[in-house]
Amino acid sequence: MSLVSGPGRGGGGSSSQSELCTDKHVAYIKSLDTRRDELEYWYTEHLRMNGVYWGLHALHLMNHPEALPRQETVDFILSCQNGDGGFGAAPGHDSHMLYTASAVQMLVMVDAVDDLDKSGRDGKQRVVSFISSLQDRESGVFKGDEWGETDTRFVYTALLALSLLGKLDEVEVDKAISYIQQCENLDGGYGVRPGHESHSGQILTCVAALAIVGRLDLIDKDRLGTWLSERQLESGGLNGRPEKLEDVCYSWWVAASLDIIGRLHWIDRQKLEAFILRCQDPDEGGIADQPGNMVDVFHTHFGIAGLSLLHYPGLQEIDPVYCMPKEITKNWFAR
Ligand SMILES: [Zn+2]
């Protein structure tokens, strides 16, 4: 289970760029796990859990969930759980909120949440305890790990994982909501902490967190939708902040935020779709951040997620709040 970049370059192939090369992308993601002899595999060990999530989720969206062996995936995830209940990026790595949330998302995706409690592990409750131990009960914010960095990303991932586990009542939800409100700026966006500039990645974490707890009413949707739709550039691609270059991963953060607040139609969806397709390598598979750059699993995932949000034919529909296939979250909460 790995995360590596290359070998191909987006837009470097000779074939038509008007269609998603699904078979190539499936083969590309499968190949990542077989390149363990490469040095880069070991350099990226600190991202292993997220890498597996990006690959697995992209495969689900492309209707090839079986392309990564299920039991091996479950075994890998469980092997990353530590004594404190949290998950590290790889076996033996310190627990962190981001990897813990990715682990929970993946266990839901492969229907293995109950495996957390197998053979007396009591793993589910330990996950909940780990997450709730990272909340500052005064301000409502969450830390990423025991070392104390705070960030609206951790508020989102904490609420996401707890919501999937049905344990939101174990933390101070109202205080988390008011913390998010303090991060709102005059331009309608949200920053990493109160007083920090608006950034698309941070905006999605705040908007999705408010969606999870049913408080989208707190968002000035027209003001935020205006700022978000101004992220689309002439190329059709989206940037993360004013004056920055377009990048495929913002196809996810910007467009998912617009979708959640019901303003996705405020951008040119066809131009965005064409931009993402120009970033794929039609010969070797994989998607890059921009046309002509090296592909990697991170941008492959967010490119496909963006296309799914745009209802690209043949892809599973994505849930913009939980960043998982909509069918899976719908069935999960209907249990
Ligand atoms: Zn990017």
- In the prediction, which pLDDT does 37 show? 66
The whole-angstrom separation of Cα 207 and Cα 255 is 12
Q: How far is the CA of 249 from the centre of ligand 1 (A)?
A: 4
**Which of the listed ranges 25-34, 80-89, 140-149 does the model predict with the highest average pLDDT?**
80-89
- 211: helix, coil or strand? helix
Q: Is the pLDDT of residue 185 over 90?
A: yes
**CA–centroid distance, residue 105 to ligand 1 (Å):** 21
Distance 246 CA to ligand 1 centre (A): 8
Residue 302 CA, ligand 1 centroid: distance in Å: 8
User: Closest Cα to residue 203, out of 261, 149, 134?
Assistant: 261
Q: What is the pLDDT of residue 36?
A: 67
CA of residue 233 to ligand 1 center, whole Å:
15
- Model confidence at 122, pLDDT cuts 50, 70, 90, reads confident
pLDDT exceeds cutoff 70 at 77: yes
Distance 118 CA to ligand 1 centre (A): 38
- Return the pLDDT at 18: 84
Question: What does the angle CA 198 – CA 204 – CA 208 come to, to the nearest 5 degrees?
Answer: 135
The pLDDT value given to residue 33: 75
Question: Residue 215 C-alpha to ligand 1 middle, in angstroms?
Answer: 29
pLDDT at 41: 66
CA of 195 to the centre of ligand 1 (A): 24
pLDDT at 13: 45
Task: Locate all alpha helices (DSSP H) within the chain, ordered by sequence.
Answer: 22-32, 39-43, 48-61, 70-79, 97-109, 123-133, 152-164, 173-182, 200-212, 221-229, 249-260, 269-278, 297-309, 326-333
Nearest to 88 by CA among 5, 166, 144: 144
How many Å lie between the centroid of ligand 1 and the Cα of residue 247? 5
- pLDDT score for 10: 75
pLDDT tens digits along 189-228: 999 999 999 999 999 999 999 999 999 999 999 999 999 9
Residue 14 binned pLDDT confidence (cut-offs 50, 70, 90):
very low
Average pLDDT, the chain: 92
**Each residue's pLDDT tens digit, 202-211:** 999 999 999 9
For ligand 1, the distance from its centroid to the CA atom of residue 299, given in whole angstroms, is 6
- 324 pLDDT more than 60: yes
pTM of the predicted protein model: 0.93
What average pLDDT score do residues 277-302 get?
Answer: 96
| Portion of the chain with pLDDT greater than 70, in percent | 92
What's the mean pLDDT in 301-321? Answer: 98
Dist CA 57 CA 68 (whole Å): 10
Query: Residue 207 Cα, ligand 1 centroid: separation in angstroms?
Result: 20
pLDDT above 90: residue 309: yes
- pLDDT for res 161: 98
pLDDT at 121: 77
